Structure 1
Amino acid sequence: MIKLILILVIFPIAIAAQEMTPIQTDRPDQTETPAIVPKGMFQMENGFSYEQVNAKASSLVTPSSLIKFGVNDHFEFRLILEFVSEKEFGIKTSGLSPVLVGFKTRLAEEKGIIPLTSFIAHLSVPDLASTEFKTDYYAPEFRFTMQHTLTDKVSLGYNLGAEWNGETPEPTFIYTLTTGISLSQKTGCYIELYGFAPQKDKSDHRCDAGFTHLLSDDMMVDVSGGVGLTENAPDYYAALGFSFRL
């Protein structure tokens, strides 16, 4: 009887553990993944980055934290916190950027030419920020995130969306295109093209690349960097990250 009870208790747990896929994150690339955090799990994706905007301006993010909670197989809650230090013409400004609250929801499973598709939406809250970084208005942002499995080791991901800055009514449109490559069971890399197209300004285009490494099924580290492709894009950036789920 004891053996039967142990089998009934342990077997479902073992099956669940086998079905749990390794952690999937929205970093380090700019292309958000369509993957949803498993139901009942908490996930935190932390990054530290340095961006050289031009010869007279730079930005340091220490850290950026994306916090997720899986509600079910098709929905997750999201919270984004960023502590930023900006330096321009020798003047340094530091503080908390407006907090972003939002969600991701699954729209379609991958089937043939139909990609795995999710929708992400956030709203930036101006009062949840340091005085130096407060905006005048609440600012929404959204994107559709899609992914195709090309082979056992290669995937193609892309995003389309728009965001607002909380100061003007004009949107900035966003696009990303990335190729993810599995180098081993634990290590992967990517190469990406992405850009921003303000309604009333010139578009800027950028590219980046990076590596990810699984420390376990629930922990991952990453390193990445990128450069601007157009004159109005930042010169370059570099980033490190650590993500985990519980």
Structure 2
Amino acid sequence: MVTLSKKISLGYNAGMEWRRFGFNPAFVYSISPRIAFNEKWFAYLEVFGFIWNDRDPQNSIDGGFAFTINDDLKIDASAGFGINKEAPDNFFSIGASFRFPTTR
């Protein structure tokens, strides 16, 4: 996460994903600007996708809202759509993120 201003930040991610035990990984990416309304609420827009060696890529866009309950728990809801024919037409998601306590 890169902080661009007091209320605006930019998240990004890149990686690889293997399906089952195959040797053909998918490259995954996401880029997500977000704006904070206050210390608890923020909204985001995300472009993300999967790129395979043996088929066309799957690219999508979504947006949503998140609420921070405490330092260890956040909930969110989003909706989006595919921006090419390989991606799902539309989708809705709700989720929760929990941070496990660790020692430093």
Fold shared by both chains (TM-score > 0.5) = yes
Letter in 2 for 1:165: R
Matching residue within 46, 49, 52 for 1:192: 46
Secondary structure (helix, strand or coil) at the match of 2:95 reads strand
Partner of 2:13: 159
Matching residue within 21, 26, 30 for 1:176: 30
Secondary structure (helix, strand or coil) at the match of 2:56 reads coil
Q: How many residues are matched?
A: 100
Instruction: Give the direction of change, closer, same or farther, for the CA distance of 1:169–1:217 in structure 2 (3 Å limit).
Output: closer
Partner of 2:64: 210
Structure of greater Rg: 1
Letter in 2 for 1:231: K
Letter in 1 for 2:15: G
Instruction: Give the direction of change, closer, same or farther, for the CA distance of 1:163–1:242 in structure 2 (3 Å limit).
Output: closer
Instruction: Give the direction of change, closer, same or farther, for the CA distance of 1:244–1:165 in structure 2 (3 Å limit).
Output: closer
Instruction: Give the direction of change, closer, same or farther, for the CA distance of 1:217–1:161 in structure 2 (3 Å limit).
Output: closer
Partner of 1:231: 85
Q: State the Cα distance separating 1:167 from its structure 2 match.
A: 4.3
Q: State the Cα distance separating 1:175 from its structure 2 match.
A: 1.2
Letter in 2 for 1:201: R
Distance in 2, matches of 1:201 and 1:230, equals 13
Cα root mean square deviation, aligned:
1.6
Q: State the Cα distance separating 1:201 from its structure 2 match.
A: 0.6
Structure 1, unmatched stretches of 5+, are 1-146
The structure where strand makes up a greater share of residues is: 2
Q: With the length of structure 2 as denominator, give the TM-score of the two structures.
A: 0.85
Instruction: Give the direction of change, closer, same or farther, for the CA distance of 1:242–1:172 in structure 2 (3 Å limit).
Output: closer
Letter in 1 for 2:82: G
1:149 aligns with 2:3: yes
Identical amino acids, percent of aligned pairs: 36
Deviates more, 1:217-226 or 1:149-158: 217-226
Instruction: Give the direction of change, closer, same or farther, for the CA distance of 1:235–1:151 in structure 2 (3 Å limit).
Output: same
Secondary structure (helix, strand or coil) at the match of 1:223 reads strand
Please list the CA deviations of residues 133-172 of structure 1 after superposition, one character each: whole Å capped at 9, or x if unmatched. Answer: xxxxxxxxxxxxxx21100111111111111112431111
Structure 2, unmatched stretches of 5+, are none
The structure where helix makes up a greater share of residues is: 1
Secondary structure (helix, strand or coil) at the match of 1:157 reads strand
